Chains A and B, each alone.
Chain A
Amino acid sequence: MYCFGCKKRHYPGMEEVKKMIDRKKVIEEMSKIAASPNEDGIIDGFNVLVNQLPSDFWNEFNERISTKVKPDLRKQAEYLLYNCARECGYNTGYGIITSKEWKAIVGPMVGNTEDVLYGAFAVFTAWGWAKSEIVHLEPGKKMIVKAYDYYESDVVKHGISPKLSAYMIAGVCAAFMDLAYGGDYPKGFNKFKCEQVRGIECGDEYGEFVVTPI
């Protein structure tokens, strides 16, 4: 990923990175950005067309599809759901980190590649995808993300689900690592994979996502 601050790639320690991004400020500012469609009902922003649907729609579709398929095909169906988010996260993520809003709000805090990654998860949180943050990062090798509140866990109203359901978060985590360490956009896609290992929907306190190279 291109570093806007120093105009090159480099990998400082995590502690240094954490001090650079004011996560609270990014969430506060980016959550105020209102996505308004033009008169044709189209939002053309961040290099993509954007829609703004109730999260129930995405949850209902994902849950019906992943539950309705025969058990021996469930993993395949879940991979497709994860892959939808991975491509979305890669393309929209790139649009976000090259947008004027990013440059205005997050840009001044960015000094290196890891700052961009930490900043991206602050935006991810601000836009309501998941209240999430990076808790461990080995640049180019491994990232662990925790999500403390996310809409994909709403599929459970009582008890605990037998399956982890945060396909969107998992896909976006892999995509953000692709953007950071996969190589220049758009050739850096599909270099990392993500596995969800904990989920609120399964009774855990938080969702946990582990990203490693493919």
Chain B
Amino acid sequence: MSKDIQVGNNIIELEHSFDRKTCRHSISGFQSVLHCHHYMTLTTQMAEDADDLCQGTEVLISTMENTAYKVLSKICNENNIKDIEDKINVAEELFCRIWALGKIKFIHLGDFSATIDVLHSHIDEGWTKKWKKRDKPVGYINRGFIQGALAVINNVPAGSFETQESECIVSGAKKGIIRAWKR
């Protein structure tokens, strides 16, 4: 089995394997697991509830940042992807076609800032499906992904960027907008 992503005119094959002995799945060398929007929304809710106890939302954002950074770095290194446009392409495809987190589009990107449209979002749409809309953004996982991706794209360490969600689908906006800037 393999999962393909298109980068420019090239197709990158990410091997999807199932180990019959351990019964584990992996994609491109990273063990992967299916979970549902209930798990994702409850984890997000829990992170918010744990903000006073242990900065739960910061933990959630940085956890996804670390994960995205590790995976994107490996894919780019193994496939010799160095061009910025190609790296952006890989990030958008990983978010959308492999991890099924929704659909993002990098609108602008520089060394110090970036703007990303969130056209579809698993967490926003899952939250709405489970609990209906709300005024406050829920895209901590999306923000973490973008922070990790920006670090890989700009060749800087994870943790170099921070983000804010200024528009969000869960609040009724047609698309979400995430702004990012270098710390």
Contact = CB atoms under 8 A, between A and B. Distances in A.
Interface residues of B, number: 53
Contact of A52 (B33, B53, B125): B33
Interface in B10-28: 16, 18, 20, 22-25, 27
B33 A128 contact: yes
A160 interface: no
A48 interface: yes
Contacts of A53: 32-33, 35, 67, 99, 101
Contacts of A130: 23
Interface string B21-59: 011110100111111111110110011011001111001
Contacts of A64: 59, 63
Contact of B34 (A32, A51, A60, A149): A51
A54 to B, nearest CB: 4
Interface in B84-116: 95-103
Interface residue range, chain A = 35 or more
B48 to A, nearest CB: 11
Given A41-B95, A49-B125, A80-B49, A128 B34 contact: yes
A196 interface: no
Interface in A54-99: 54-58, 60-61, 64-65, 68-70, 73, 77, 80-81, 83-85, 87-88, 91-92, 95
A185 to B, nearest CB: 13
A55 B31 contact: yes
B146 interface: no
A73 B63 CA distance: 21
B23 A27 contact: yes
Contact of A91 (B33, B38, B99): B38
B159 interface: no
Interface string A23-62: 0000100011011010111110010111111111110110
Interface of B: 1, 16, 18, 20, 22-25, 27, 30-40, 42-43, 46-47, 49-50, 53-56, 59-60, 63-64, 66-67, 70-71, 95-103, 119-120, 122, 125-126, 129
6 contacts: A37-B100, A52-B32, A61-B43, A65-B47, A65-B59, A131-B24
Interface of A: 27, 31-32, 34-35, 37, 39-43, 46, 48-58, 60-61, 64-65, 68-70, 73, 77, 80-81, 83-85, 87-88, 91-92, 95, 125-131, 149, 151, 154
Given A65-B56, A84-B42, A131-B22, 18 more contacts: A34-B1, A35-B100, A37-B97, A39-B103, A43-B100, A52-B34, A54-B67, A57-B67, A58-B35, A61-B59, A64-B63, A65-B59, A68-B55, A81-B46, A88-B38, A125-B23, A128-B31, A151-B33
